Chain A
Amino acid sequence: MTQPMAAAATEQGSADNPASTGSRTTLGLGLVVLVGLVAVVLLGFFGAPEDDQQRDAVRMIFVHVPSALLTYVAFATTALGSVMWLWKRSVWWDIVAHSAAEIGVMFCGLTLATGSIWGRPTWNTYWDWGDVRLVTTLILFLIMVGYLSVRSMGDDDATATRASIIGLIAAVNLPIVNRSVEWWFDRTLHQKSSLTDGNLEDLTLFTLVLAIVVWGLFFLWAMTHRFRVGWLERELRSGDLDEAIAARKAEALIDGDFQNGASS
């Protein structure tokens, strides 16, 4: 490669040194998600039949259930990353934990919001403080917002350790949220799992599974980009630190030369 061409490649980025967090894989994944999302919207609104009791409100299942499932996946990933940070001091896992937490908070917020919106036409209320699943999900959301707040306070090892402990505390809440409709079946407006109770129509079930797959692929796409953002942030910080150390060394060298010159 001639010199100007090499320089242009460096400016725009290459496969080894990309100028963004995207790659061919993420581009392909993103396109699959877009096509899948269109299919989910079409099937969700026009393909799947309405429910005998809930009528068309049942179509909220195609956004609410995937959000809830991905909340579990994201926060379980955060817990795993937190363990690996505390155990091995693995920076890679620490970035994974932080990335999953950020995406998980978005999905958890969406779970709460879409659940409330769905609750109004089906339960005649947006919120019920007596419902164990609603309250435990809200607690989970608030703990993980706390995790992100702690993360925003600094980027040193001590902050990562504090955040990891919060991530593990949140993980304790995950099975409680998931099992709450069975453990406190008399204190919830929620029905049992829509996926496993076998009451869904075939096309409704198909659309739900498709929606879970599509949002799952979106989660992978977002995790990849968010991880790379976290990695670049870390590289930028360590680069700044290297520059500062080099500048300080140069300063010390000049001071030393000056003192040597003055004494001779």
Chain B
Amino acid sequence: MTHLGYLLVGWGLTIGCGVLYSIHLVRRGRALAARVPTTRRRWLTADER
């Protein structure tokens, strides 16, 4: 396969960023959910001011 180095860096960067961002989001969500009272953990009832 030609240009394998370029391909591995490009694909690795894309998938790596996606995975790291996903982990960051899930961990951030868990940490926040632990601090927010249960009565306020209802994001689907968002309304306009």
Cβ–Cβ contact A232 & B33, under 8 A: yes
The answer to whether B17 and A231 have CB atoms under 8 Å apart is no
Given contacts A106-B17, A113-B13, contact A235 B41 (CB under 8 A): yes
Nearest CB on B from A81, distance (A): 12
Asked if B7 contacts A60 (CB within 8 A), the reply is yes
Q: Which of A37, A55, A64 contacts B3 (CB 8 A)?
A: A55
Interface set, chain A 1-27, CB cutoff 8 A to B: 10, 13, 16-22
Kindly report which residue of chain B lies nearest to residue A14, judged by CB atoms: B38
Task: Please report the C-alpha to C-alpha distance between residue A60 and residue B25 in the assembled complex, in whole angstroms.
Answer: 27
Residues in B with CB closer than 8 Å to A231 are 43, 46
A90 and B7 alpha carbons, distance in the complex (Å): 43
| A110, B29: Cβ atoms closer than 8 Å | no
B2-30 residues at the A interface, CB under 8 angstroms: 2-4, 6-7, 9-11, 13-15, 17-18, 21-22, 25-26, 28-30
* B38 contacts across to A, CB distance below 8 A: 10, 13, 17
A114 in contact (CB, < 8 A): yes
Q: Which of A85-102 contact B (CB under 8 A)?
A: 88-92, 95
Please tell me if the beta carbons of B33 and A20 are within 8 angstroms of each other in the complex.
yes
Contact of A228 among B4, B18, B29 (CB under 8 A): B29
User: Which residue of chain A is the closest to B49 with respect to CB atoms?
Assistant: A89
Within the complex, the shortest CB–CB distance from A86 to chain B, in Å, comes to 13
- Please tell me which one of the listed residues B18, B21, B29 contacts residue A232 in the complex, with CB atoms under 8 A apart: B29
B26–A114 touching, CB < 8 Å: no
* Cβ of B27 to closest chain A Cβ, rounded Å: 9
Interface size class of B (residues with CB under 8 A): 35 or more
In the complex, what residues of B have CB within 8 A of residue A20's CB?
26, 29-30, 33
Contact of B25 among A56, A64, A92, A222 (CB under 8 A): A222
Kindly state the separation between the CA atoms of A231 and B36 in the bound complex, as whole angstroms.
10
The smallest beta-carbon distance between A195 and chain B, in angstroms, is: 18
The answer for the CA separation of A83 and B48 in the assembled complex, in Å, is: 14
Binds B, one of A117-125, A138-146, A161-169: A117-125
Q: Identify the closest chain B residue to A95 (Cβ).
A: B46
Given contacts A10-B38, A41-B11, A232-B32, contact A57 B22 (CB under 8 A): no
On whether the beta carbons of A229 and B11 are closer than 8 Å, the reply is: no
